[in-house]
Amino acid sequence: MPRKNALALILACCLSASPVAGKEHRLNLHPQWEFVADTVMGGVSAGEISDVTLDGREATRLAGEVSLDNNGGFIQMAFDLQNDDQTFDASGWAGIEIDVLGNGEEYEIRLRTDQLSRPWQSYRTAFIAAKVWTTIRLPFSDFTPNKTDVPFDPKRLRRIGILAYGREYQADVAVSAIRLYR
């Protein structure tokens, strides 16, 4: 294997991402999803993430009840792009693409960079999780700053999250793939 190809393979493995076969314009991410809820700040929303097979696709599912009690209002599944809390340079990519199945409700995808110091700061955009598997493209230009004046810098991307947020409802959203696209 030529040295250049070996280095590319090592980098792809370290970044927990791999190119989609035959499609260099997409980079599959392989997240280690974590569950987070408003209970970290006194809320009472409840939920879980689970690995499931839905309509023949392996996916990670976020399900639960979002409650506004005690100033709460979210459940989330999120992952860091690097294992060591380092940043990922996504500046060569146009945005995030997800394969998603849900209950027809609105969810948010939130991005965090190393420039954000408070847990409530992010860059976010909304999407509808249809009741059939759907591929959704979310350009970085659609993400708006939330509780920060710092502009989004894709060179400093650190974390991606899928949230059920802001109102009382039953959340049920599954993600079978998440990737960057050009």
- pTM, rounded to two decimals: 0.85
Domain boundaries, the chain: 3-181
Fold for 3-181, please state it: Jelly Rolls (2.60.120)
- What beta strand segments (E) does the chain contain? 17-20, 23-29, 34-37, 46-54, 57-66, 74-80, 95-102, 106-113, 122-128, 134-139, 144-146, 157-165, 169-181
Q: Please list the pLDDT of the chain residue by residue as tens digits (182 residues).
A: 444 443 333 333 334 444 444 457 999 999 999 999 999 889 999 999 999 999 999 999 999 999 999 988 999 999 999 988 799 999 999 999 999 999 999 999 999 999 999 989 999 999 999 999 999 999 999 999 999 999 999 999 999 999 999 999 999 999 999 999 99
Instruction: Name the token pair of 25.
Output: 């314009």
Closest CA to 145 of 128, 170, 117, 124: 124
